[in-house]
Amino acid sequence: MTELRALGKLEKVSIFPPQLSAPQVCRLLAPPHSLRWKDFYGGESITETTIPLLAGLPLHSLDAKLALPHADFLAQMPQLTKLNLCCYGNARPDSERILQAVGQCGQLRELRLEAGSGVTDLCFSRTQLSACLAQLPQLESLGLTGIGELTTLAWLTEGRLPRTLVQLYLIGRHRRLPLQEWRHVLQLRALFSLALHNFFDEPLSTEDQALLAPPSPLFPHLTYFYHCWDEPPLPAAI
């Protein structure tokens, strides 16, 4: 860690495996320092103690585990262009509050939100997700894992998304959307990458899958397509 702190011109740091623990992150980023890291991945857990240390870096990219029920700290990182948050642990995530915080990062081009270990689902509603994404005019890549209360993909066709979104990754877990919601994805004509993993309650038809294999007549720019569907899981325990 001492060696890393001495590299004053370093801008991108990835540490894995083993991943850093919160105490290790605290030691690594303890002030004073002159670190200029714009991209930091250490598998770090975001806790009350690591928030001010991470906010002290000129980060443009953050890939971290969220061990808090909220993400209010994002207000201190408006310069982020890439955000990957994996909610995990015993703290039940406040999905609406998390989305409100994400919406403050108006420079985001890439966003991933994931329900990780110990979290059943992220309970986003259409209204909450629409309000958040409307504040991200430059968003090009979106990934969601664990859809919770989400019942429609109609928000995909709102605002600038049909024109700006080029990558879409949707992964279902305990709940899945009706296959008829697929019609909203079809309106994202700018997509060049699409992955669907157990997201709908039925698999795409063989005919639809054939039409999605690049070069696709449905998505003229598509260069990557992935589709996986298994039998629906048992209902999650309440």
The pLDDT value recorded for residue 9 is 76
- Tell me how far apart the alpha carbons of residues 20 and 32 are, in angstroms, rounded to a whole number: 20
The reported pLDDT for the residue numbered 189 is: 94
Q: Look up the pTM and report it.
A: 0.89
Question: Could you state, in chain order, the average pLDDT of each consecutive group of 10 residues for the chain (238 residues)?
Answer: 71 72 79 84 75 88 86 92 85 86 96 78 86 96 88 93 96 89 96 95 94 94 95 56
Its sign, for the CA torsion 134, 138, 140, 144, is negative
What is residue 238's predicted lDDT score, i.e. its pLDDT?
Answer: 39
pLDDT number for residue 21: 72
